Chains A and B, each alone.
Chain A
Amino acid sequence: MKKFRVAFILMMALALLASACGDDSSDDDATAAAEAAAAAAAADAAAAQTQADAAAEEAAAAQAALEAAQADLAATEAEAAAGDAEAQAALEEAQMKADEAAAMAEEAEMMAQEAQMALEESMMVTAPEIREAEVRMGIYPCCADLAYWQIPIELGWWDDVNITITPNQPTYHYFTASQEIVPWLQRGDGDVAQGWVPGLFGALATFGQDIPPIHFADIYVGYAILVSPDSEAKTALEFMDEGMSFPEAAKAAVEQLVGKEVHIPPHSTTQAQYSDAFFAYLDAWWEDVQEDIPALDSEGNQLVLLDREGNPALDDDGNEQPIRITTNDWRNYATPVYVDDPTIVQLSAQAGRIEFAMPYGAPTLVQMMRNGWDPLINFAMMYDNDAVSQQTAIASATVGGTGLLARRAWVEENPDLAYRVVGMANRILATLEDSDAQAELWAIEANIINEKRGLSMEPEDIGIIWDTIDPSFNWVDQEALWDLTQPSYHPATVFRTQVEKLKANGTLPATFNTQAELEEFLLAKDIYEDLRDFQHRSDALFERAMGMDLSESQQELVDHAHTHYDNYNFYDALRFLETAVLGGIVTPGLST
């Protein structure tokens, strides 16, 4: 029966090899060859098992013969003791047989031991290598969603994946201004850097595709117009306290801005005009509409207002309400004064110097609010009080977030490193949500922001930013990010509207193919899907390993795989698991 099983496994291996040779696809070839190799290894193990079983059987038979001979010997000895000469001769003969049986048993035992060693050798597996590599990475530690990369440096997490950060070894290249990020990657001075993803849309027709995002970290919803403590202007909430509904209060609040100067960083010129959402509360906004921008989903369907349950919100006549994004611009109603965040903070420190400001970075926002500045209106108010409205729809269409920007050539040459770096991002974001560990991580972030930006953030401020201003997308959230059927922030949809707006204002050519270009640009989706596939395969192999009698070395690899899996490094988890359970790596692309 066992020989039949061995023959069957060998036939399967040959069949797999034959199928591998007959397939044109190189990936399929690699899979088939790897599976055949795994099957051959399994066949070797089965053959060794058969030999060990046979040797054990022989040893058992020899042991039984030995025991029978010893029993005869004992009986003969008894008779000999009674003085029987014949019995004495028989005793000698029995003694000889017993000695022979003992020798045979010993020999069989040795053979059994050798067979067992051969079996163990055949089941011995060695850990796949996690290659030592250098990754040239940069960060601009201005804000919580950019400074979080300081955490793995200080906690030594990069060592877990054998990555050394360069070129400022052992830490990152620290940018002194956000505008340095893209040229740094573009020049090829660095491989990866955390940056503002929508900031690249204006370059999509030229080099933007060379620096796609490979991971999305968060969504920035902290947009607010701040009003100085000495201003007489009232906030929307104050108007609500006077009995107004939120739309009325928002309108009254924004009307105070018409014709006034609003201090805002020059970064805003490269971004979707989130401030439009506030000014859309003005009646004049809708009276001045000159052109509507298509607000479509990835299948080209018109986006409509949705209620909190995700169902279309109907107007008084029972009709769906299409979302209206227009070419209007808030700067037709108020005057932008372009100064960067540090200057806004400096000017805001002097009473009467400025009245309204829209700072860019969350830490600046938090610090100014701590200094007595109030939000005249912000996105949070709108989401809380006016979720189903054109204004909030405009807000949702203009938000963006940071992500890992990487040189596409680097990702193509080093997919293993890209998977590990993205896995590290997921590990950090998950740990930031762990109530037992987050205090230490917040302190690390606050320290680096204070050091590099001259602010005075408390660790708790970082927690507030992550909770209310910069909600992150952890590993679980990433699924909804890319699955358009789930209610969530969908970059593919939101970015489409933002790109259309750039086409409308001439930044991108009118012939720009928004859908195709965005699909190519959002490399983060492909990376996420690969990692999710690795995770699912790992889950299946963990289950399979549970039902197996694993050798010591196999068990060790499975334990390693668990560690990588828990750290969101699904790439190496799967590599270790396949080596442990299948005897080798079988998934294409995992062999590095």
Chain B
Amino acid sequence: MTSTDVLDVRARAKREQRKRRILNVLYLLFGMLLFFVAWWLLSLEASPFYYDIPPPIDAIQHFLGNLGTSSEMRAKFVHACPDLHPDRATNWLRQVGSSLIGYKYTNEGLLPGDPRPIPLGQLPEGCYGYAIHLVVTIIRILIGATLGTVLGITIGLSSLVFPKVAQVFTPVASFFGTAPIFIAAPFFVIWFGVEVPIMTTMGLVTFYTTLLMYFFSRRAAENISVGIVESALTLGGSPRSIFRWVYLPGTVPEIAGGFRIALAGAWGLGVLVEVLGIQVGGGHLIDIWRFLIGLIEAPSALVALITFFGVLAVVVDGILVVIIRFLTRWSESGRRLGL
């Protein structure tokens, strides 16, 4: 490659690229502006949704006002700190740990004479805020999606090496894959209860993600050109080396795309399970507020929480795009991702 920019081609290409990026940002801002304008219009008194959709500013104010602590939730004894150990009261990281697992489900506290959990009336103010609920939900969903992805890819790709795995797992996956996943959600609540959310929420998200990633990983492998595999064989590749050097890297772009789809679904699924009765999490907040919909504050709370998860999903997806693009920059699909 010459260092001379013949006919100013490189500079022009860079200018075009800069222009395209600026335009992308402008389009993004324009899209967000349109969203807020539409929202604002729907919240006007003349709108049929006047009572159901609060103005954006009200929803934002509600969200920020209840993020750290919430007097509304305190009055209703809705909190994010079940069985909070006294030692964990001042450490928010340990509070989140308590919220995720529950004090009585750990080894501590089960023995007679151990300190009792903090009574509801003496819980720290932060336990009544939205923040811990939302953090717990995010952690649960990310853990569930990660576990499901690892499981799904492992089973999917190993089924290429060991066909018997495919013979056993494909019918099972096909059966559950065709059943609407939302139908399974209440069963998880019944099986694992609402007291052990780590099993209910994460279990369902893991299950759903495993199924999706199994199919995506198998399809990704099947979509690898036969010519590439034959080339590898011609070069003396063994099944193991072909799996390691052809299938594994070759499926990453498509698997990554599948992971984005699975994660996008996991946000909704995780929150849905929480709405069904799990006592801590963003979905639980939505559940409580939907029963209070007659109160003036409820539409603001519901819209704010739902919007939060929407924005969260978009932001996480944006971060994923950046990561996947970096990891798969060697491939055409990786280079074009997010453009």
Contacts and interface: CB of A to CB of B under 8 A. Distances in A.
Given A261-B195, A335-B120, A202 B295 contact: yes
A429 B190 CA distance: 38
A276 B73 CA distance: 19
Nearest to A334: B120
A179 interface: yes
B121 interface: yes
A338 B51 contact: no
Interface string A160-185: 00000000000000000111111100
B288 A179 contact: no
A506 interface: yes
Given A186-B51, A332-B120, A350-B190, A337 B291 contact: no
Nearest to A269: B76
Contact of B279 (A200, A207, A270, A338): A338
A370 interface: no
A339 B78 CA distance: 12
B294 interface: yes
A338 B287 contact: yes
25 contacts: A177-B290, A179-B290, A179-B292, A179-B294, A182-B293, A187-B50, A202-B294, A202-B295, A207-B51, A259-B116, A265-B291, A266-B287, A266-B288, A266-B292, A267-B291, A269-B292, A270-B294, A331-B77, A332-B120, A338-B288, A340-B277, A343-B276, A346-B186, A346-B190, A347-B190
Contacts of B50: 187
Nearest to A273: B77
Contacts of A353: 193
A200 B119 contact: no
Contacts of B291: 178-179, 265-267, 269-270, 340
Given A183-B293, A343-B277, A332 B189 contact: no
Contacts of B71: 506
A179 B31 CA distance: 33
A339 B194 contact: yes
Interface of B: 48-52, 71, 75-78, 82, 116, 119-121, 186, 189-190, 193-195, 276-277, 279, 284, 287-288, 290-296
A505 B293 contact: no
A336 interface: yes
Q: Summarize B's interface: helix, strand, loop or mixed.
A: loop
Contacts of B48: 187
Given A267-B291, A270-B291, A337-B279, A207 B194 contact: no
A331 B292 contact: no
Nearest to A507: B75
B6 to A, nearest CB: 67
A343 B120 contact: no
Interface in A185-242: 186-187, 199-200, 202-203, 206-207
B51 A203 contact: no
A507 B293 CA distance: 14
Contact of A183 (B51, B77, B288): B51
A346 B276 CA distance: 12
A183 B294 contact: yes
A206 B292 contact: no
Contacts of B190: 346-347, 350
Contacts of B49: 187
Contacts of A67: none
Contacts of B193: 347, 353
Contact of A339 (B52, B277, B292): B277
A206 B296 contact: yes
A275 to B, nearest CB: 11
A335 B123 CA distance: 13
A74 B121 CA distance: 118
Given A183-B51, A353-B193, A338 B78 contact: yes
B287 A182 contact: no
A207 B297 CA distance: 12
Interface of A: 177-183, 186-187, 199-200, 202-203, 206-207, 259, 261, 265-267, 269-270, 329, 331-332, 335-340, 343, 346-347, 350, 353, 505-507
Contacts of B194: 337, 339, 343, 347
Contacts, number: 90
A251 B140 CA distance: 41
Contacts of B277: 337-340, 343
B51 A187 contact: yes
Chain A to chain B: the 7 pairs with minimum beta-carbon distance, closest first: A182-B294, A266-B291, A339-B277, A269-B76, A331-B77, A206-B296, A332-B121
A506 B75 contact: yes
Nearest to A267: B291
A335 B120 CA distance: 8
Given A261-B195, A346-B190, 20 more contacts: A180-B293, A183-B293, A186-B51, A187-B49, A187-B51, A187-B52, A200-B294, A202-B292, A202-B294, A203-B295, A206-B296, A329-B77, A331-B77, A331-B120, A332-B121, A338-B277, A343-B194, A343-B276, A347-B194, A350-B190
A372 B288 CA distance: 29
Given A187-B52, A350-B190, A335 B82 contact: yes
A337 B195 contact: yes
A343 B287 CA distance: 13
Nearest to A346: B190
A269 B288 contact: yes
A259 B287 CA distance: 24
Nearest to B75: A505
A507 B296 CA distance: 11
Contacts of B279: 337-338
A336 B77 contact: yes
A269 B78 contact: yes
A177 B287 CA distance: 12
Contact of B296 (A207, A265, A350, A505): A207
Contacts of B77: 269, 329, 331, 336
Contacts of A187: 48-52
Nearest to A183: B293
A331 B82 CA distance: 13
Contacts of A335: 82, 120
A507 B292 CA distance: 12
Contacts of A347: 190, 193-194
B246 to A, nearest CB: 49
A507 B284 CA distance: 20
A183 B82 CA distance: 32
Contacts of B296: 203, 206-207
B301 to A, nearest CB: 13
Contacts of B76: 269
Contacts of A270: 291-292, 294-295
Contacts of A340: 277, 291
Contact of A332 (B78, B119, B290): B119
Centre residue among B82, B189, B292 by max chain A CB count within 10 A: B292
Contacts of A332: 119-121
Contacts of B276: 343
A259 B103 CA distance: 14
Contacts of A182: 293-294
A353 B75 CA distance: 28
A260 to B, nearest CB: 12
A568 B277 CA distance: 44
Most interface-central of B51, B119, B294 (chain A CB within 10 A): B294
Contacts of B119: 332
